[in-house]
Structures are given as structure tokens and as C-alpha cells.
């Protein structure tokens, strides 16, 4: 359904993407994981026709993006990383405009706008001007705008980054339903988010694809590779000991507390689940203690 | 598709109050000129420190002089109002919602034409109403107006205004900074108003203001150059400037 073939892109002398190739099957949800600046947004913007690759080909639903951009844009719902919309329109007016732009007849646009406002939990704010929406509300509105017109492909650039935990859960529940009938490609640098909803994963690092496939395929592939994880919370000595005890390989930390740990581990699955579980546990404990907590786990292989 | 953009542009024009400076400036200039001409002798005598007994003789203005002075003011303050309103029409939109907007299957021709149409309609109506009010005060304060000549002159000015608007929108499509777009538009218009007459005095686009003047003074038919020339070239220039925006924005769409 989505296929990138040897796509490269330079911004001046900076190589943003180098021979990026991946394939995402129809009616699945794939995560696009990578650190900030790895090239996730560049790829997503290319998939929706906002950037032209210097080399390579992109196909969405069998249509070449280079020759059939308008058709591809009709097939894709896109949520930008920092969604910004006309502040002088109400949420409903904005969605009606979005609907009509993707070919929904004017008579049905109001109905479609109400439906998707309800889907993202903004129906009661339908008449409020978008300029008065909070960041989270704008992100929900952006998601509604991506969904309107019922496109078969959804490209979501960090779709829950501005949402609170409840909002995240709601959006992930929605995506779980949607992936039965749509192809979803969502970027994040938060492994836990991707793991919640995705069937597969594409990992990008410094503009190069490092791994791709379904979750079971990736777990098989992992073998004895070095796994480097960056956890965006303080790893205190207690957690460090727990991690060390839980992993068979060597665990290297840079001082305590640390935010970077690296270790060698048999099988990616254990890594995924143990680190995330630890992070969740930490988050729960810290929340109870009113200290904030783990909210971010980032990894690159 | 065009109707979507027309509705959106009209709503934007109203909600952001973009029509206000246009209406205010054109009405103000329309009213101001006849009053200024009428009161000029009084203003001069009260403002100057001339010795007692000095007599200032100012010949009474003709009606066409007063009406053309309104066009003259439109061509200065009016242009500034046009630039103020138009400089961000495309530039600000690209900057604010470009990523969302260009990810949609937007028909750029419709997008550009809707922007042009709504802006032109508001500007043209403002200038026509301003001229109408100016003519009313001219009748009241100076003398009778030849309405036929005024209508022809007004339509010619609207044609020129359409050309200026296409230039301003092109500047706005070129860059993403509204301020820079405003500067570019101002420089372009100054060049059009100053340089073109040097090269093509009385001809092509630069002949249009002269044609308006001649129309208002009912001497247009005695002009040496053909009447159609400035009209047709202005229309062609407008179409060209609008047409340039379409490939420019299509190209910008993938590199905004």
C-alpha cells in the first residue's frame, strides 16, 4: 500500500535521507520510530507530496507520487507534526472546508464535520474558533481533518505528542479500530506509543532505515545485536539494578543517575517489554508520589 | 472547488476585518479631495503669515481636476492600503497553514483566482463608492459632474486596480514573509509607476492613468495613441501576473 524505493533527499549539503526503502502492507498500522532529526517528518512529508525526493520512487495505493500527486493526496489523510489551522474559522467550519477540499459534496460536508468532531471528542467545541483551541484540541482537530473524506491511508506525524494520557488512550483506541480498514503509518519517538497500536515498525536513524518489518519479524531479526536505549527519565541505581538483573547481557550505564544505557541482549522482545514495563512502573510510582515520571523511551539499533 | 475558496476568502476578508482599511481609505480620500479643493484658499490664507492686505488668487478648480485628484490620491494612499491588505494574503497563509493546505488536493488555479476575485471585488467596490461619494461632494461644492465620463474613468481605474492587485498577490506568492511581500509589491508598483512611463510614455500599462485623466476631462478621443492599447495591455499584464502565480505556487507546494 505504501512503498518507498531508494529515496534520497538532501537539504543543501545535509543528507536528510539516504536510500530509504520500505514497504507497508494494506490495512495495517506501522510505526515509524526514530530519534528527533532522524528523518521521520521528511519521509512523511514526502509521502503526502509536500517534498520531492532527489532520487527514488514513492508509491501509495499503487499510484506513483511523482506522476499522480493529486490522486495520492486524495488517498491520504495527513496530520502534521505541529498542526496549525485558520484561527478565524470555527472547528466545524474548518472541517467542512477540509471535507470539501477532499471532494465531499457541500451538502454532506456539515454531517461529515459533525461526525469527525464527535469521533475526536470535539463536538461540544464545534463552534469555538480554532484560534482558541488548546494544543491538544488542535491535534485532535488535525486528526479529524486527516480522517475526513474517509481516506484509505493515514499518515500521522506524532499524533499524540500534545495529548494528555487520557487523550492518548482515546486516540490509540480509535487507531486500533481504524487499522482494520485503513493503512496507517504513524511516527513517534516513543516506543511505548508505537507498541500499543502498531503491527509493524520501520526504524530510521540519521536518514537511513535500520530495520523494518512486523513485530515478530523484528524480534527474530534482533539476534545478538547491541541495543542502545535512551530513556528520557532518570535511571536511578535501583532501576539500574533491576534492569541489570533482568537482562542476561552486559549493561553499560554512564554514571548514576543516567539517561543513556546500552547493553547486549538476546532477543528484542525482552528488551521491548522489560524497559517499557519498567518505565510504566516508574511512571505509576512517580505519579503517586507527585514527582512526574517516565514519559519517553527512545531507542535505536 | 472554486466556490469553496470563494466562500473561504470572503469569510476571511470579513472575519479578519481586511475590508476595513480599504473601505476607510477609499471613502476618506473620496470625501477629502473636493472639500480640500473648496477650502484651499481659506486654508492657505489662515495658515500663512503673509503681510496684511496680501491677496492670494487661486483659480477655481475644474470638476475634472478634482475628480482626477481623487484618482491621484488613490494611486498613493490607496496603493498603500492595497499593499497592507494584500501582502499577507498568500504569504501568511503559506506560513501558517501551508503544511496542512498543500497536503490536500488543492486546485491552485481556483485557489489563486478566488484570492484575486475577492480582493479585487472589495477593493473595486471601495474605490467606486469612494469615487461616487467624491463626485457627490464635487457636485455640491465645485460644480456639475459629467457622470458618463466619471463612470468611464472609474471603470478604467478599477482596471488599473486589478493590475496592481495581481502584482501584490504575485509578491505575496513569492515569499513567506508578509512584510517582505509588502516591500516587494511596493517596489514593483513604484517601478511600474515611475519607470514604465519613461520607457513607454503614454503607452501600454503606463498610459492607463493618462487615459483616465483624458476620460475625466472628456479629451480621450483626441489622444494620439490608440485608446485600446493601455486597456488591452493592462488586461494582458493582469492575466500574466495572475497566471505566473499558478506555476509558482505549484512549485512552492513541494518546497514550502
Counting residues of chain A whose pLDDT is more than 90, the rounded percentage is 44
What is the reported pLDDT for A224? Answer: 45
DSSP, residue by residue, A168-182: HHHHHHHHHHHTTTS
What is the reported pLDDT for A259? Answer: 43
What is the reported pLDDT for B119? Answer: 97
Beta-strand ranges (E) seen in chain B are none
What are the cell numbers at B208?
A: 492607463
**Residue among B97, B253, B255 whose CB faces A86 most closely:** B97
DSSP, residue by residue, A203-241: EEETTEEEEEEEHHHHHHHHTT-EEEEEEEEEE-HHHHH
Query: Which residues 102-161 in chain A show a CB within 8 A of chain B?
Result: 102-103, 106, 142, 145
- The overall average pLDDT reported for chain A is 80
- Greater model confidence, A243 or A141: A141
Q: How far is CA B208 from CA B125, B199, B217, B227, in A?
A: 19, 14, 14, 9
The answer to whether residues B78 and B69 touch, using CB atoms and an 8 Å cutoff, is no
- Give the Cβ contact number of residue A91 at 10 Å: 29
What is the reported pLDDT for A241? Answer: 64
CA distance B13 to B88: 12
A11 touches chain B (CB under 8 A): no
Q: Which site among B100, B107, B115 would you substitute to test the A interface, given the most A Cβ atoms closer than 10 Å to its Cβ?
A: B100
How are beta strands A183-188 and A153-157 bridged, if at all? parallel
What is the reported pLDDT for B183? Answer: 96
What number is the average pLDDT over the span B19-36? 94
What number is the average pLDDT over the span B5-25? 95
What is the reported pLDDT for A298? Answer: 44
Q: How many CB pairs under 8 A join A and B?
A: 61
**Residue among B4, B16, B254 whose CB faces A50 most closely:** B254
Domains in chain A (CATH in brackets) are: 2-217 (3.40.50.300), 223-300 (3.30.70)
User: What sign does the dihedral B85-B99-B102-A182 (CA atoms) show?
Assistant: negative
Helix (H, G, I), strand (E, B) or coil at A104: coil
**Residue among B12, B103, B256 whose CB faces A73 most closely:** B103
A125: pLDDT strictly greater than 90: yes
CA distance B87 to A87: 18
B103 touches chain A (CB under 8 A): yes
Q: Do B100 and A89 touch (CB under 8 A)?
A: no
Q: Do B11 and A52 touch (CB under 8 A)?
A: no
Q: How far is CA B138 from CA A129, A245, B78, in A?
A: 45, 95, 19
What's B166-203 look like in SS3?
HHHHHHHHHCCCHHHHHHHHHHHHHHHHHHHHHHCCCC
CA distance A167 to A124: 16
The answer to whether residues A251 and A243 touch, using CB atoms and an 8 Å cutoff, is yes
Only one residue has cell 469569510, namely B11
CA distance B161 to B234: 10
Q: Do A76 and B103 touch (CB under 8 A)?
A: yes
B256 touches chain A (CB under 8 A): yes
Q: Of B233, B229, B237, B232, which is closest to residue B188 (Cα–Cα)?
A: B237
A74: pLDDT strictly greater than 80: yes
Q: What is the pTM of this model?
A: 0.81
The answer to whether residues B212 and B71 touch, using CB atoms and an 8 Å cutoff, is yes
Q: Find the helix or strand (DSSP H, E) in which A57 lies.
A: strand A55-60
Q: B101 - beta bridge partners?
A: none
Domain encompassing residue B35: 2-253
The angle that helices B108-141 and B63-73 make with each other, rounded to 10 degrees, is: 150
Q: A228 - beta bridge partners?
A: A262, A300
Q: How confident is the model at residue A219 (pLDDT cuts 50, 70, 90)?
A: low
Q: How far is CA A293 from CA A34, A136, A229, A246, A289, in A?
A: 21, 20, 17, 21, 10
Judging contacts by C-beta atoms under 8 Å, the chain B residues touching residue A52 are 254-255
Between the two ends of chain B, the Cα-to-Cα distance in Å is 23
A24: pLDDT strictly greater than 50: yes
Beta-strand ranges (E) seen in B72-185 are none
What number is the average pLDDT over the span A134-153? 92
CA distance A119 to A178: 11
CA distance B256 to B174: 11
What number is the average pLDDT over the span A35-61? 91
CA distance A251 to A271: 12
Contacts with A216 (C-beta within 8 Å, 6 or more apart), sequence order: none
State whether ipTM is beyond 0.85: no
CA distance B239 to B237: 5
What is the reported pLDDT for A232? Answer: 55
- Greater model confidence, A2 or A272: A2
CA distance A77 to A48: 8
How many structural domains are present in chain B? Answer: 1
Query: Which residues 15-34 in chain B show a CB within 8 A of chain A?
Result: 15-16
What are the cell numbers at A2?
A: 505504501
- Greater model confidence, A54 or B202: A54
Only one residue has cell 518546497, namely B255
Contacts with B69 (C-beta within 8 Å, 6 or more apart), sequence order: B33, B37
- Greater model confidence, B134 or B205: B134
Edge to edge, the sheet with strand A226-235 lists A251-253, A258-264, A226-235, A297-300
Only one residue has cell 476571511, namely B12
Helix (H, G, I), strand (E, B) or coil at A264: strand
Q: Which site among B7, B102, B104 would you substitute to test the A interface, given the most A Cβ atoms closer than 10 Å to its Cβ?
A: B104
Q: Of B233, B256, B244, which is closest to residue B109 (Cα–Cα)?
A: B244
Amino acid at each position: 500500500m505504501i512503498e518507498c524505493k531508494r529515496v534520497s533527499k538532501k537539504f543543501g549539503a545535509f543528507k536528510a535521507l539516504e536510500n530509504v526503502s520500505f514497504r507497508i502492507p494494506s490495512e495495517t498500522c506501522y510505526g515509524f520510530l526514530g530519534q528527533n532529526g532522524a528523518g521521520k517528518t521528511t519521509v512523511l512529508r514526502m509521502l503526502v507530496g509536500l517534498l520531492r525526493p532527489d532520487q527514488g520512487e514513492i508509491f501509495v495505493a499503487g499510484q506513483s507520487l511523482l506522476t499522480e500527486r493529486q490522486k495520492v493526496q486524495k488517498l491520504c489523510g495527513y496530520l502534521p507534526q505541529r498542526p496549525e489551522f485558520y484561527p478565524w474559522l470555527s472547528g466545524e467550519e474548518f472541517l467542512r472546508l477540509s471535507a470539501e477540499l477532499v471532494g465531499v459534496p457541500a451538502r454532506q460536508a456539515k454531517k461529515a464535520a459533525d461526525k469527525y468532531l464527535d469521533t475526536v471528542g470535539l463536538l461540544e467545541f464545534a463552534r469555538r474558533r480554532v484560534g482558541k483551541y488548546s494544543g491538544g484540541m488542535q491535534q485532535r482537530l488535525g486528526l479529524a481533518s486527516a480522517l475526513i473524506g474517509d481516506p484509505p491511508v493515514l499518515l500521522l506525524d506524532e499524533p499524540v505528542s500534545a495529548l494528555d494520557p487520557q487523550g492518548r488512550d482515546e486516540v490509540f483506541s480509535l487507531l486500533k479500530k481504524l487499522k482494520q480498514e485503513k493503512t496507517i503509518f504513524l511516527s513517534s519517538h516513543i516506543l511505548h506509543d508505537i507498541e500499543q497500536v502498531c503491527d509493524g515498525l520501520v526504524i530510521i536513524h540519521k536518514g537511513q532505515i535500520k530495520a523494518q518489518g512486523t513485530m515478530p519479524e523484528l524480534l527474530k531479526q534482533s539476534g545478538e545485536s547491541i541495543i542502545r536505549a535512551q530513556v528520557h527519565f532518570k535511571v536511578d541505581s535501583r532501576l539500574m539494578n533491576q534492569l541489570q538483573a533482568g537482562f542476561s547481557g552486559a549493561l553499560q550505564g554512564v554514571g548514576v543517575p543516567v539517561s543513556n544505557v546500552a547493553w547486549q541482549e538476546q532477543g528484542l522482545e525482552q528488551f521491548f517489554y522489560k524497559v517499557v514495563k519498567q518505565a510504566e512502573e516508574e511512571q505509576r510510582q512517580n505519579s503517586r508520589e507527585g514527582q512526574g515520571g517516565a514519559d519517553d523511551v527512545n531507542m535505536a539499533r | 472547488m472554486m466556490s469553496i475558496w470563494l466562500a473561504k476568502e470572503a469569510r476571511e476578508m470579513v472575519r479578519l476585518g481586511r475590508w476595513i482599511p480599504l473601505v476607510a481609505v477609499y471613502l476618506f480620500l473620496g470625501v477629502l479631495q473636493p472639500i480640500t479643493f473648496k477650502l484651499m484658499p481659506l486654508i492657505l490664507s489662515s495658515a500663512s503669515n503673509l503681510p496684511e492686505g496680501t491677496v492670494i488668487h487661486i483659480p477655481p478648480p475644474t470638476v475634472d481636476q478634482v475628480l482626477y485628484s481623487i484618482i491621484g490620491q488613490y494611486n498613493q494612499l490607496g496603493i498603500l492600503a492595497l499593499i497592507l491588505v494584500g501582502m499577507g494574503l498568500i504569504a501568511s497563509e503559506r506560513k501558517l497553514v501551508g503544511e496542512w493546505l498543500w497536503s490536500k488536493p488543492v486546485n491552485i488555479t481556483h485557489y489563486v483566482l478566488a484570492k484575486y476575485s475577492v480582493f479585487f471585488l472589495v477593493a473595486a467596490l471601495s474605490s467606486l463608492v469612494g469615487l461616487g461619494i467624491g463626485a457627490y461632494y464635487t457636485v455640491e461644492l465645485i460644480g456639475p459632474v459629467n457622470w458618463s465620463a466619471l463612470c468611464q474613468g472609474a471603470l478604467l481605474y478599477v482596471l488599473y486596480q486589478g493590475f496592481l492587485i495581481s502584482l501584490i498577490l504575485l509578491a505575496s506568492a513569492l515569499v513567506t514573509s508578509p512584510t517582505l511581500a509588502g516591500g516587494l509589491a511596493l517596489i514593483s508598483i513604484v517601478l511600474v509607476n515611475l519607470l514604465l512611463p519613461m520607457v513607454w510614455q503614454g503607452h501600454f500599462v503606463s498610459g492607463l492613468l493618462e487615459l483616465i485623466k483624458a476620460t475625466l476631462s472628456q479629451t480621450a478621443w483626441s489622444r494620439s495613441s490608440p485608446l485600446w492599447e493601455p486597456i488591452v495591455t493592462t488586461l494582458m499584464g493582469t492575466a500574466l501576473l495572475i497566471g505566473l502565480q499558478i506555476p509558482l505556487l505549484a512549485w512552492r507546494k513541494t518546497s514550502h
